[in-house]
Structure 1
Amino acid sequence: SSFKYEIVSHDLYREADALERFVIKIEEVLLTIQKELSASAEIIMAPGDLKAYNEATKCWICKKAFLKPSSEALQKFKESKHRLLEVIEWEASMGEDHPGKKKIQKEY
């Protein structure tokens, strides 16, 4: 297996607070791991991967079927998206028509 535990450094400590120091070290390692795993990474797909992804009907991990949204839910989503785009467009035009708007908003 490629998942082997390997000691990369030794930290020998034999005082009364050894357990507390051990826990602190483990928490530091945890933070380092979380930081490294939280970084975005580019998805690398082989030529056939996108087609397989788009045609998938169940989860490849748990093998459960994907839930498909109803047509009513899709329609509501499209309407909400349309309203949001209208608001964004309106706010953009307000900035052009009223250049002092942002300054007033910041002061408020």
Structure 2
Amino acid sequence: MSRDVTTVPELWQEWTIGLNGGPKVRELEEKFGTRWRSSSAERKFFCLRKVILDYIHRIGEMQGISLEEAVLQVEAIRKQHGFNSLQRLSDFLKKQRVK
């Protein structure tokens, strides 16, 4: 996963269609499971990003909205709180409970 990704829409693009001709991360995960994340640093980085992706799916499901709309809502949360990194957003979302 790219360290250059800084917004939720960019993360979603990397997950669903890939970045700059790279693979779809979702497909890597489906095809290879954890094997494609070779180092512990890469595994930790993936897990931080996966918190955001899982949150997108949960609010989309719970609110009955498209995943694209959920992406925009999560990006709005990032901006609202002034998080300049996806790690800070991930840490925040871990503490939240979708009701």
TM range (shorter): under 0.3
Query: More helix by proportion, 1 or 2?
Result: 2
Bigger relative contact order (CA 8 A; separation at least 6): 2
Larger Rg: 1
Give me the TM-score of the superposition, normalised by structure 2.
0.26
Give me the TM-score of the superposition, normalised by structure 1.
0.24
